[in-house]
Amino acid sequence: MKTTVDISAPLLREAKKLAAREGVTLKALIERGLHRVVSERKQTTPFKLRRASVRGKGLQPGVRNASWEQLLDMAYEGRG
Q: In angstroms, what is the C-alpha Rg of the chain?
A: 23
25 contact partners, CB below 8 Å, separation of at least 6: 19
pLDDT at 36: 93
Q: What share of the chain is helix, strand, coil (3-state, %, to 5)?
A: 50, 0, 50
> pTM for this one?
0.50
Domain ranges in the chain are 9-43
**pLDDT digits 0-9 by tens, 43-77:** 767 778 888 877 777 788 888 899 999 999 988 99
Contact 20, 14 (CB under 8 A): no
Pairs from 44-47 (Cβ < 8 Å, separation ≥ 24):
none
**pLDDT digits 0-9 by tens, 17-51:** 999 999 999 999 999 999 999 888 777 677 788 88
